[in-house]
Chains A and B, each alone.
Chain A
């Protein structure tokens, strides 16, 4: 049975990655690319100050998005797992969480634009309430809107694994904690949180990998004013600089793998899989 799986993985995962690796060593001129084994692409990448800035920006997006999706995801999962008593309601509310996923990513993203724009719903509402006198500029085409869209798009990826782990926590542990005099917060901190770590870690891997690899959200929500690594690769591709794009992709891939490797050192997720 391993045969078909190996074939699928080989064709759709290993071969493309190998191809990108190979191309990343190719040479390029302004009008052509040619097979070679050069380190030019990497040398240029690592010598450019832009690379570091863009990578830093990408990490920033990932970190902030992670923090928000974690807090929201943990809260939602906690509510579903420990406060909703009946299984029927749990399933119903869980499905409710997935409703945004019935439309495509891009539509969900774009629907923020009329809401956040200069003359959008948010600004006009705030003005009519008298909270602000002039439209707030940073609502759209800013880091704020990029992160807002990321959080909106990816929180569910945090909710699902955390909820899954929480559902496996023996409810009598919560009772045992309250028997030992733990307050609600103490139970959360000393019992629920440590036992939920594997789920948090899986959610973290999802969110970090998705945000690090994203280019479309950053492009739409920042109005092309901010860049992340995905945008950098996209630009190269638009200029037909495939070797340079490949080199950036390889560096990004290694960065993400390294990050996940570090995360897995801290938490054992094996019993969750």
Chain B
């Protein structure tokens, strides 16, 4: 890949009056990465994205694209394109006019515009819809049009602001696959903001977990999931238990927990809830220190040795499954 199109945050900061929305974050995205900015609402992920797009001024620090500081450029001159959360399609323009809007602004003639728009609509599988108005499309179709409109400018980085949040769950999974396919085909960097960890895990090559205006942890998706560094990351990514032990807090994946007799196990506990989930059974136990711990057992393991509510059990895990947490 062309090394020159890496996206980099250098001490990127956003202040609104006295509130700090993004606090001096630094990170380097390699060209062609699908990256997710993940975090709860108000963590600063949207502000970060909007600073990259140019819809929010940078209070301090810089955004570099291919080594060039783009933080003071107008949105269209940055080499980025944004897909808005509610798609922001122009309601008075047809699908084709929406898609080719940026070409019209550049003064491209009508024929090349419609040819280019048709090409982009083909890419997102919306060829038959060029004369419709946005209001005549379903949510998923509107999203495809918004994608086509963002991609027609040939951006080096595509910014997606919670692109799937307005869709129903089934469509969300389909569009997820679609986004991933497009990103692979185009080979450009996608920066995708979301608060859904499943979405981030499914899509991202790299995730950046943000909380309270800073990056809590970032890296290859699997590295982050396998080894969360803080209690926040472990909890936010899900499928982890955060357990306070005398020697400190640790994170253990719930599917890494095994049931043992109470004697000799790392943690003794009492079962408070059993939830059948089809392929798995989630078993919640109360352990010393009033902590709830969830173990995810395969259905064969559980039904081979069924347990009852209130039963005393021991919880065990392999030493390498436990990750010490810093906070």
Contacts and interface: CB of A to CB of B under 8 A. Distances in A.
Given A180-B149, A181-B76, A181-B153, A175 B104 contact: no
Contacts of B104: 190
Nearest to A176: B88
A177 interface: yes
B92 A176 contact: no
Interface string B50-88: 000111000000000000000000111100011011101
A175 B86 CA distance: 12
Contacts, number: 62
A33 to B, nearest CB: 53
A160 to B, nearest CB: 22
Nearest to A170: B88
A182 B53 contact: no
A195 interface: yes
A179 B92 contact: no
Contact of B106 (A178, A181, A194): A181
B102 A173 contact: no
Contacts of A195: 91-92
Interface residues of B, number: 25
What is the predominant secondary structure among interface residues of chain A facing chain B?
helix
Nearest to A178: B75
Contact of B75 (A173, A179, A191, A194): A179
Interface size band for A: 10 to 19
B317 interface: no
B232 interface: no
Contact of B101 (A170, A172, A180, A183): A180
Contacts of A175: 55, 75, 82, 84, 88
A186 interface: yes
B105 interface: yes
A191 B104 CA distance: 12
A186 B105 contact: yes
A170 B91 CA distance: 10
A177 B149 CA distance: 11
B90 interface: yes
B84 A180 contact: no
Contacts of A181: 75-77, 102, 105-106, 153
Interface in B93-119: 101-102, 104-106
B86 A170 contact: yes
Nearest to B84: A172
Nearest to B85: A172
A216 B102 CA distance: 51
Contacts of B76: 178-182
Contacts of B74: 178
Contact of B86 (A172, A179, A191): A172
A176 B91 contact: no
Nearest to B100: A180
A199 to B, nearest CB: 13
Nearest to B82: A179
A179, A181, A195, most chain B CB atoms within 10 A: A179
Contacts of B55: 175, 178-179
Nearest to A193: B92
A60 B274 CA distance: 82
A191 B77 CA distance: 20
Contact of B88 (A173, A182, A186, A190): A173
A191 B90 CA distance: 7
Contacts of A176: 82, 84, 88-90, 149
Interface string A71-95: 0000000000000000000000000
A180 B105 contact: yes
Nearest to A195: B92
8 contacts: A175-B88, A177-B105, A178-B54, A178-B74, A178-B75, A180-B76, A181-B106, A183-B105
Ranked nearest first, the 10 interchain pairs of A and B with the lowest CB-CB distance are: A181-B76, A180-B102, A176-B88, A172-B88, A194-B92, A182-B105, A179-B75, A181-B105, A180-B101, A175-B55
Interface of B: 53-55, 74-77, 81-82, 84-86, 88-92, 101-102, 104-106, 149-150, 153
